Amino acid sequence: MNQSLSSATQPRTYLAVLVVLALTHLLNDLIQSLIPAVYPIIKDAYALDFVQIGIITFTFQIAGSLLQPVIGYVTDRRPMPYSTIVGMTFTLVGLASLGFASSYEFILVSVALIGIGSAIFHPEATRMARHASGGRQGLAQGIFQVGGQAGGALGPLLAAFIIVPHGQTSLAWFTLAALLAMVLMTWTAGQQAVIARHIAALKASLSESAAKTRRHSKATVLFGLTILTLLMFSKIAYTESFRSFYTFYLIERFGVSIPTSQIMLFVFLVAQAVGVLIGGIAGDRIGRYRIIWISVLGPLPFTLLLPYADFFWTGVLTVTISLIIASAFASILIYAIELMPERIGLIGGLFYGLNFGLAGIAAAILGGLADSIGIENVYWLCAFLPLAGLLTWFLPRIEDGPAARPPPATDGERHEVP
């Protein structure tokens, strides 16, 4: 960075924008999390088996995954900050219809609409977080991700105290959250013009050599993205065993009530929110590569112990596993962006899409296994998934860590936010 740059053209972290983005992510993911949170209710109401529960998750996740890379590709060429409001409109309609769904097919259509809403939201919100980071990418993604994780954690808690007592129709009350998200999204979209002017000024102050984007060969990019995808799948599959089936596991193994199981799921998801923030901040300090090693392989001793633990130690191990494994996503996403810095929207859409799609596939597989071998045996099998962390060894060793972090002006995008 040129030391003669004025303070007006120094990279700047827009903390207020990041916090509001986190709040919109919280509201978006809170609504999403209500879907698995009501599984115990609709399972009894519609006499569903575990395969049908898994298909509900699969439908939601696939609807959310297929559009995200396409939307990211389009917004790389023409950023659309107000598109997040359109996405939340889909979510609002899906949530309202889920509250009054009268059949299994109606439930599938409703969760698909919520998935489409998330598909529109994530790529553009990822771009906003990147631009507002001021080069502190781990911090920015950590704040953004902690909003999503916190929203996901609140879903089971609200289900335990609102939806379980008042029934499926109480889902419609949460349309107020979607309306609030639209208001916040309008503000963040308007702030993009301010950020764009700052980035343009910074670009004008950089020399051509300083502004040049570091590029990697196609083979390096393809191989790196393949390894990251495999690591994502192992992480997501284990996490999905908790999101979709943890309440059933606790009820069957320990005989707890539905509200107690929902509170335990809330604890798991809160730990995830803390873990993702810690992972993002630590990634800025010690590098993405090390964080990926720790977060994917690190939970292995605890996952192996979990199937044999009593109720108390199940809670302790659940928190420990969640803290460690959640720290991976921000670093995996930023590592992927550093492989293709000129395609932020595409990478954001691809990896959020993978997050959705792989989770849907995992839920369907785990649902089938739960029906055939029992829910407790599913957790015994899932205990070995963190072994996939050994694949981290094969990741391309691109420049990483504080010294390698480029300012927001050098992320290589072809077009600025208008």
CATH of the domain at 79: 1.20.1250.20
Residue 359 to residues 239, 276, 373: CA-CA distances in angstroms?
8, 18, 20
If pLDDT is split at 50, 70 and 90, which confidence band does 347 have?
confident
Look at residue 6 and tell me whether its pLDDT is greater than 60.
no
pLDDT at residue 85, rounded to an integer: 92
* 285 assigned to some structural domain: yes
205-219, 334-348, 362-376: which is most confident:
362-376
Q: Which residue has the higher pLDDT, 408 or 129?
A: 129
Scanning the structure block, which residue is given the tokens 């809170």? 30
* 110 assigned to some structural domain: yes
Look at residue 61 and tell me whether its pLDDT is greater than 70.
yes
* 416 assigned to some structural domain: no
* Letter string b/e over residues 117-141, b meaning 16 or more CB atoms within 10 A of that residue's CB: bbbbbbbbbbbbbbbbbbbbbbbbb
Look at residue 252 and tell me whether its pLDDT is greater than 70.
yes
Rounded CA separation 10/141 (Å): 20
pLDDT at residue 289, rounded to an integer: 84
pLDDT at residue 182, rounded to an integer: 94
* 8 assigned to some structural domain: no
If pLDDT is split at 50, 70 and 90, which confidence band does 79 have?
confident
How many domains does the chain divide into? 1
Containing domain of residue 148, as a range? 13-204+211-399
Query: Mean pLDDT over residues 196-207, rounded?
Result: 56
Angle between helical axes of 83-99 and 175-205 (0-180°, round to 10): 160
pLDDT at residue 363, rounded to an integer: 79
Q: Which residue has the higher pLDDT, 61 or 223?
A: 223
* 338 assigned to some structural domain: yes
Query: Mean pLDDT over residues 334-362, rounded?
Result: 76
Query: Mean pLDDT over residues 323-349, rounded?
Result: 80
Give the count of beta carbons closer than 10 Å to the beta carbon of residue 390: 14
If pLDDT is split at 50, 70 and 90, which confidence band does 4 have?
very low
Residue 34 to residues 4, 60, 123, 348, 359: CA-CA distances in angstroms?
51, 12, 22, 24, 16
Query: Among 43-47, 63-67, 199-203, whose mean pLDDT is lowest?
Result: 199-203
* 7 assigned to some structural domain: no
Mean pLDDT rounded to a whole number for the chain: 81
* 273 assigned to some structural domain: yes
By the 10 Å C-beta count (0-12 exposed, 13-18 middle, 19+ buried), 102 is classed as: exposed
pLDDT at residue 232, rounded to an integer: 85
* 72 assigned to some structural domain: yes
| Total count of residues recorded for the chain | 418
